[in-house]
Chains A and B, each alone.
Chain A
């Protein structure tokens, strides 16, 4: 904590920017380039390892070392406080002029923009990447050789791209990172390339992301047209002043509606929201560390980052159309994904849907104007969800790829899985929002925000809140459904038929695995008869413990700078483009404290700068008190206070329900469960009463099938039709024209008969036609 409080002290002493969102005007040190450069170096080294045919764990350890270096660099930058906030230009990337006369040119450098938002993101991206890299070095050790190099190559490129995305100083570099993480996601989902499902999932992820990317691309184009730049700093300056490149007001124009909506499309693609979510569950085909890092903690939050980053543009719209869309889409996605989770049996997929659902919370938070809550939830979610995935991975690794809820039970009591189970429990508690866990605090902020934000700002905010509350209870239920069934209860397992990273816990180095490879080559059914679950080794255990401890520790961040900024995340957000005077926040406590808090929140200092201009004009938020009046309540209380109790109760209800329906008999089932057989639970009887609905939910409401028919099939059929048209019609006409001379020749050939009278006849006929023509022309 001392380490953390030092820079924070420096931060809170700063005089907040008087007008508008915080814009980092300084210069960031050039050495921040190390953050992406080290993983890039790692990627090159992995490539060299592949060329040298390295067959040990060197690529893994190299990666961990370099990523740790990257993390330390980030940490040093962070400890430097706001002094390091600003732009660091590394080199010119794309410079292109629009025209000789216009004088405007498209400038896009390889340059990094540092503010609280990028800092916060980089901290957990590099930190988690290091830890998960360590985990992977053991998890992937069954593939030592080319596969191992390939894995860590993509892993490194991922961290590089993610750094570019988060630290980009312009939208184009952001797009580079955006696509780069997409590529790595593609390569890593398809890591087990011999499995057709993995290949299909990888392709699906890339293509669905591309659909969103088109939105992002168009947004970049529109931004350039309106603002004449794609660089963040000039962009923020213009938005803060409420003008476009010509100095005309942007409020009420198409720009503040269309551009955010296009950005949102991109964000939803990457973060698997609304119509785009279908790729993420399939992405679980990738190795589990990848699911943990890319498809839970970091990459999928890029969409949240994008909106938080461009938040001033969203907030510039008086009607808040885009934000309303974001809020509703987030809430609906959160709920929708939760319904599917109820009936899933693959623990990794459950975690996948849970990620979609939690991302929905984050988007709802952003849409509800609660940037601090959303960003904090990104941060905490990264930790607890990564923990959960790593624990699932340890189970999967230990039981030959078994992931089914029905075929595993009582893992906690098996030798060597104690650490895994405890870490899992910590993760589950946090995800369920049990009081005093990290997830509890961050989710609360979003839930409370829903009731604090007035409905005339974000339409239907109250109903979004109700939906999210319901989802929160469901979350607790499905999370503990996994825990109660897999980790406690009677000991039971059926090993999977899969040998992903099948390298039984080798605590003492690389040689161990060879012995095991031999064992693997025994006849197939040896897997079932002579199978011993192998517990995670030191690297995996260390990683899980580190993350679990992290999950616990970061809960305390909620109390750092609590009064001034609503927690550490609030401080970070305050010094970033996402700074926003969220309704209801900054007005807690008694009057004295209120003034203090208000004064410190930059956006609040002059609400009008961030608040929609028209609202100010109408006097809705003319002064600070007006904001307080405008914010809503829950049961007549300040939602930010009452939510502590409401969500705690809901979370506990969810857990108790899970214990009742799925818990084992005895203490481990909280004394109310009755499961004695591995796969027989109370829920079965309940589910049976709902007829086909559970089956529909298990089949994900057939959305994939629907998409397949409506989009894929239709496109495929039309492509075949186009192909046929191309061959028969378009090329057919060409061939026809091509054969015309020959054809004409063969038609005329009989006329060249050599018979004189036919020539004569022809001549007469020809002359007649000619004369007729002349007469005709003359007449006309």
Chain B
């Protein structure tokens, strides 16, 4: 049985066990469960043929609905495997960070949290459209429950909005995918939901059909990312979600959107992507700057970080539509890096929320003197998020920007060495780069309020019975793991870059010629004009 089935089944089984186990045991079972997944994960990482990372491995499938060609297929290339690794790694972190934060209805909490992991792994592992879509939609349910039951004040509204908004998006994406399935059926006469097969078919569709599919898919996945202007569910959901929910949301759930764009938009409809890359890039850049500036005027520290996700994920999408290896590799790397650094920021904020029960920067601040350990971690992760070279954020951000810079037809026509065609170019890179300044503005504004200056605590503050003033060992451990990850990936990202590249190059393989053709065509048009 493929390792990937284990990665899906283990959390699923543990989720069921937790649901029926005594409540006292729930958190220990969840902890064990989250660590058990490391077994198959490590085996998978070890046995994966990285030099051939572009092709699907650990492939397995079972017939499900034979008449319709629906199968339960799994298989991963390097990108999906790395995202699975991120998901599994964040598993125990989410469980352990909730020890003191969640004390009621623990079975429900840990059960859904564990079940969510199964769904997320399923999304990345599925090679069959039906399996993918089921998992994709199934992620909504646990998240809905987590926000709705364990969130803060405004949780009901946030949960509903989160559910309806992203559900609507997914339905539209489904329509696009189904269109491709029907198209395949009409061409070949057989039903299939196999993603690679469909990708090959979709790429052959005429531009108009491709554009329609692109529109549908982008609408769906852009909501999930979220891309400007369909981002407004995110700040609300993030702010209201419990810490573990925020970490999962920022760490993995948003990546379902970018993964969807990578796998389905880039993989299915290359001609349309080239046609609309500039438009998508413009939306990404607006997101980067606009959301960044909104961060700057937030009073709620969690909302600030939530908006910063919108800004950061803009880089991610931008890197993808740069349509060259540097950009797309940087973008995939960004998915992982953002999961680590923003996940860590949410953890940090969760830790002070547990102690002070406020997220308002007016009430709370100057914690450097009160919580030096926490403050050190906070500054560290802020710097990772700000894109300080040497930490992880920089590598991916830089690659996205440089990829954008390269992505111009003009470079191709000039025959530049480092050129790759595309419709972006230096000005796009410059505009996106200004987001780097904005990021410094809002993140240092936050640090200045929360970490530095004179200590401010809420008037009704009294010490948490179970938590010391500064971090305890459990919390230090959690943050240390992420800090090591951020530092490690910043100092030595080469292995990861090399792992991602084969997959990216395979995905982008159809683009090289198309882009060059386009560049030639443009120059001809210009010549005639």
Whether A106 lies near B290 (C-beta < 8 A) is no
Nearest-CB distance from B149 to chain A (Å)? 22
Asked if A210 and B440 make an inter-chain contact with CB atoms under 8 angstroms apart, the answer reads: yes
A194 to B369 Cα, complex, angstroms: 9
Q: Tell me if A5 counts as interface (CB < 8 A to partner B).
A: no
Asked if residues B501 and A207 are in contact (CB atoms below 8 Å), the reply is: no
Chain A min CB distance to B87 (Å): 24
How far apart are A388's CB and chain B's nearest CB, in angstroms? 29
Q: Which segment of A176-184, A374-382, A522-530, A558-566 sits at the interface? A: A176-184
Give the residue of B394, B433, B440 whose beta carbon is less than 8 angstroms from that of A206.
Answer: B440
B389's contact among A98, A176, A187, by CB below 8 Å, is which? A176
B398 touches A199 (CB 8 A): no
Any A CB within 8 A of the CB of B195: no
C-alpha gap A104/B417 in the complex (Å): 6
Q: How far is the CB of A717 from chain B (nearest CB, A)?
A: 10
Q: CB distance A193 to B453 under 8 Å? A: yes
- Looking at chain A's contact residues, the main secondary structure is helix
Q: How far is the CB of A31 from chain B (nearest CB, A)?
A: 20
Asked if A722 contacts B418 (CB within 8 A), the reply is no
Closest chain B CB from A214 CB (angstroms): 5
Contacts of B505 in A (CB 8 A): 97, 99-100
Whether B326 and A97, one on each chain, are in contact in the complex, defined by CB atoms closer than 8 angstroms, is yes
- Complex CA–CA separation, A178 to B165 (angstroms): 43
B86 interface residue (CB < 8 Å to A): no
Number of A-B contacts (CB under 8 A): 185
B326-366 CB contacts (< 8 Å) to partner A: 326, 329-330, 366
**Is A419 an interface residue, CB under 8 A from the partner?**
no
CA distance A110 to B172 in the complex (A): 47
- Residues 690-742 of A contacting B (Cβ, < 8 Å): 715-716, 718-720, 722-723, 726, 730-731, 734, 738
Bound: A187/B444 CA distance, A? 11
Tell me the smallest distance from the CB of A99 to a CB of chain B, in Å. Answer: 5
Contact A220-B369, Cβ < 8 Å, known A97-B325, A98-B325, A100-B512: no
Is the pair A220, B402 in contact by a Cβ cutoff of 8 Å?
yes
Q: Given A97-B501, A718-B293, answer yes or no on A214-B434 (Cβ-Cβ < 8 Å).
A: yes
- Would you call B494 and A92 a contact (CB within 8 A)? yes
Tell me if B415 counts as interface (CB < 8 A to partner A): yes
Report which of A100, A175, A187, A210 forms a contact with B437, defined as CB distance below 8 A.
A210
Are B494 and A94 neighbours in the complex by a CB distance under 8 Å? yes
Inter-chain contact B402/A246, CB cutoff 8 Å: no
- For window 197-228 of A, CB contacts with B under 8 Å fall at 199-200, 202-203, 206-207, 210-211, 213-214, 217-218, 220-222, 224-228
Are B232 and A730 in touch, CB under 8 angstroms? yes
A92, A99, A176, A187: the one within 8 Å of B390 (CB): A176
* Chain B residues within 8 Å of A738, by CB: 161, 164-165
Give the number of residues in B that approach A within 8 Å (Cβ atoms): 69
A210 touches B429 (CB 8 A): no
Are A720 and B297 touching (Cβ within 8 A)?
A: yes
Tell me if A689 counts as interface (CB < 8 A to partner B). Answer: no
Q: Do A94 and B512 touch across chains, with their CB atoms under 8 A apart?
A: no
Asked if residues B494 and A93 are in contact (CB atoms below 8 Å), the reply is yes
Tell whether, in the assembled complex, residue A225 and residue B406 are in contact, meaning their CB atoms are under 8 Å apart.
yes
Within 81-138 of A, Cβ neighbours of B (below 8 Å) are at 91-102, 104, 106
Per the bound structure, the CA–CA distance linking A194 and B367 in Å amounts to: 10
A199–B448 CA distance with the chains assembled, in angstroms: 6
List chain A residues, Cβ under 8 A from B493. 93-94
CA distance A199 to B52 in the complex (A): 50
Q: Which residue of B lies closest to A211 (CB)?
A: B437
A549 contact set on B, CB distance < 8 A: none
CB contacts (< 8 Å) of A203 on chain B: these are 444-445, 448
**A172 in contact (CB, < 8 A):** yes
Which chain A positions have C-beta within 8 A of B413?
Answer: none
Select the residue from A200, A244, A722 with max chain B CB neighbours within 10 A: A722
A246 B416 Cβ-Cβ under 8 A:
yes
Interface size class of A (residues with CB under 8 A): 35 or more
Alpha-carbon distance A213/B402, docked complex (angstroms):
14
Give the shortest distance, in Å, between B363 (CB) and chain A (any CB): 17
User: If the complex has contacts A99-B325, A99-B512, A210-B440, are A224 and B296 also in contact, measured as CB distance less than 8 A?
Assistant: no
A245 at interface, CB cutoff 8 A: yes
Is B325 a contact of A179 with CB atoms below 8 Å? no
Chain B 484-506 interface mask (CB, 8 Å, partner A; 1/0): 00000001111001100100010
User: Do A246 and B415 touch (CB < 8 A)?
Assistant: yes
Which of A101, A106, A183, A716 contacts B418, CB < 8 Å?
Answer: A106
B385 CB to nearest A CB, Å: 13
Question: Is the CB–CB distance between B366 and A194 below 8 Å?
Answer: yes
Q: Do residues B445 and A214 form an inter-chain contact, with CB atoms below 8 A? A: no
Cβ of B436 under 8 Å from chain A: yes
Partner of A95, one of B294, B420, B433, B498: B498
Give the nearest-CB partner of A203 in chain B.
B444
Interface residues of B in 359-417 (CB under 8 A from A): 366, 368-369, 372, 379, 383, 388-390, 394-395, 398-399, 401-402, 405-406, 411, 415-417
Residues of A within 8 A of B405 (CB): 218, 221-222, 224-225
**Cβ–Cβ contact B326 & A106, under 8 A:** yes
Q: Is the CB of B417 within 8 A of A246?
A: yes
Contact of A217 among B401, B411, B417 (CB under 8 A): B401
A527 to nearest B CB, angstroms? 21
Given contacts A96-B501, A146-B372, A211-B437, contact A225 B416 (CB under 8 A): yes
CA distance A541 to B391 in the complex (A): 39
CB-nearest residue of chain A to B333: A96
Question: Considering the complex, which residues of chain B in the window 436-463 have a beta carbon less than 8 Å from any beta carbon of chain A?
Answer: 436-437, 440-441, 444-445, 448, 451-454
Bound form: Cα–Cα A179–B379 in Å: 15
**Does A183 contact B388, Cβ atoms closer than 8 Å?**
yes
Is B426 an interface residue when CB atoms closer than 8 A count as contact? yes
Q: Does B508 contact A (CB under 8 A)?
A: yes
Residues of B within 8 A of A96 (CB): 325-326, 329-330, 399, 497, 501
- Looking at the assembled complex, report how far the CB atom of A724 sits from the nearest CB atom of chain B, in whole angstroms: 10
B297 and A730 form a contact (CB under 8 A): no
CB-defined contacts of B437 to chain A, threshold 8 Å: 207, 210-211, 214
Instruction: Check if B406 sits within 8 Å of A214, measured CB to CB.
Output: no
Flag whether B419 is at the interface (Cβ < 8 A): yes
Q: Which residues of B contact A178 (CB under 8 A)?
A: 389
Asked if residues A207 and B444 are in contact (CB atoms below 8 Å), the reply is yes
Taking CB atoms and an 8 Å cut-off, the chain B residues in 227-243 that contact chain A are 229-230, 232-233
**Interface check A570, CB cutoff 8 A:** no
Evaluate contact between A214 and B430: CB separation under 8 angstroms: yes
Q: Are B389 and A193 in contact (CB under 8 A)?
A: no
Q: Is A99 touching B324 in the complex (CB atoms < 8 A)? A: yes
| Least Cβ–Cβ distance between A153 and chain B, in angstroms | 9
Docked Cα-Cα span, A95 to B324, in Å, equals 15
Residues of B within 8 A of A199 (CB): 448, 452-453
- Produce 1/0 per residue, B63-105, CB < 8 A to A: 0000000000000000000000000000000000000000000
Most buried by B among A178, A203, A718: A203
Instruction: Scan B289-319; emit 1 where CB is below 8 A from any A CB, else 0.
Output: 0100110111000000000000000000000
Q: How far is the CB of A743 from chain B (nearest CB, A)?
A: 15
**A172: chain B residues within 8 A (beta carbon):** 389, 398
Which 7 pairs between the two chains have the least Cβ-Cβ distance?
Answer: A228-B417, A245-B417, A176-B389, A221-B405, A731-B232, A193-B452, A719-B293
List residues of chain A with CB under 8 Å of any chain B CB. 91-102, 104, 106, 146, 172, 175-176, 178-180, 183, 186-187, 190, 193-194, 196, 199-200, 202-203, 206-207, 210-211, 213-214, 217-218, 220-222, 224-228, 244-246, 715-716, 718-720, 722-723, 726, 730-731, 734, 738
Task: Show 9 residue pairs from A and B whose CB-CB distance is below 8 angstroms, ordered by the A residue.
Answer: A94-B493, A95-B494, A97-B326, A106-B402, A179-B390, A180-B390, A221-B402, A244-B417, A722-B290
* Interface residues of B, Cβ cutoff 8 Å to A: 161, 164-165, 229-230, 232-233, 290, 293-294, 296-298, 324-326, 329-330, 366, 368-369, 372, 379, 383, 388-390, 394-395, 398-399, 401-402, 405-406, 411, 415-420, 426, 429-430, 433-434, 436-437, 440-441, 444-445, 448, 451-454, 491-494, 497-498, 501, 505, 508-509, 512
